[in-house]
Amino acid sequence: MRRLLEDGVFENEVPGRFSLGYGVAPGEIEAIFNAHGFLALELLAAESLSAGVSSEIGEVIEAGGPASDAVMRLMIDFAGDPRALASARHRLFVGRRSSGTPAS
């Protein structure tokens, strides 16, 4: 856990489980993409509000109706919130290549 918090590296030695992951602070993501010729349009938490309660939120959405619509709107609206980004397991960078930057 210390290595994850200090270096952003997760190593799991439990056989048959997710073994290795790398993390980056939300504030560093835009700089990484900028360095490679991209302009940031959005940075979103892929899970939005559903981290830890995804099955419950899925049930509400699958049921349809006004509650489903309200939950979907809330998740979309909250996906870019810094609090959601800080707790997200996955982040989605939405951007475009800067003009004059060649594709690699």
- Expressed as residue numbers, the domain containing 58 is 25-97
Q: How many domains does the chain have?
A: 1
Q: Environment class of residue 50 by beta-carbon count within 10 Å: exposed (0-12), middle (13-18) or buried (19+)?
A: buried
Question: What are the b/e assignments for 72-94, b being 16+ CB within 10 Å?
Answer: eeebeeebeeeebbeebeebeee
Q: What is the largest CA-CA distance in the chain?
A: 48
pLDDT in tens, 14-73: 888 877 887 787 788 999 999 999 999 999 999 898 878 888 998 999 999 999 999 999
Q: What tokens does 30 get? A: 């835009």
Q: In this structure, is residue 44 part of a structural domain?
A: yes
* 57 within domain boundaries: yes
The confidence band for 104, taking pLDDT boundaries of 50, 70 and 90, is: low
Binned at pLDDT 50, 70 and 90, residue 103 comes out as low
Residue 39 located in a structural domain: yes
pTM to 2 decimals? 0.71
Helices (H), the chain: 2-7, 26-35, 54-63, 65-78, 82-87
Banded pLDDT at 10 (limits 50, 70, 90): confident
Q: What is the mean pLDDT of residues 73-89?
A: 90
Residue 95 has pLDDT above 60, yes or no: yes
